[in-house]
Amino acid sequence: MSSIPKELRYTKDHEWVRESRDPQVVEVGITDYAQGELGDVVFVELPKASAGFKQRDVFGTIEAVKAVSELYSPVGGTILEINKALEQDPALVNRDPYGKGWMVKVKIKDPKELEGLLRADAYAKHVGE
């Protein structure tokens, strides 16, 4: 059974969003369920800081032993920071998907987009847990 923290928001594509003290800044990563399905992560390609994305745009890729998957932006906005630790240790996504395995910090263009994301209980139903 996957870990699905209640304080996060989720997409049907298995990304999570953590709100910060600044209502315009969120942290984004992939869920425990997603990393489990992918298997051992060997490479994560992330955008450069200052890149802009619309909601549901592809913002990067994640490569595992089993497959390569696209990463979809859960919200529209501008990348403020990428997790540089993933360059040296992409398996952080496997070991700590909701902590040290975060991927990007985004300045949100429209905070109302957060309301359209799944809550933990809805995401659990989506993945069959």
The percentage of residues in the chain with a pLDDT greater than 90, rounded to a whole number, is: 95
- pLDDT value of position 92: 97
61, 71 contact by CB (below 8 A): yes
C-alpha 61/C-alpha 13 separation (Å) is 13
Question: Model confidence over 66-123: pLDDT tens digits?
Answer: 889 999 999 999 999 999 999 999 999 999 999 999 999 999 999 999 999 999 999 9
Single-letter amino acid, residue 48 = K
Q: Does domain 9-109 have CATH number 2.40.50.100?
A: yes
C-alpha 99/C-alpha 97 separation (Å) is 6
Question: Model confidence over 31-57: pLDDT tens digits?
Answer: 999 999 999 999 999 999 999 999 999
Task: Enter the pTM of the model.
Answer: 0.95
- pLDDT value of position 17: 98
Return the domain boundaries, the chain: 9-109
Dump the DSSP string for 51-72. Answer: -EE-TT-EEEEEEESS-EEEEE
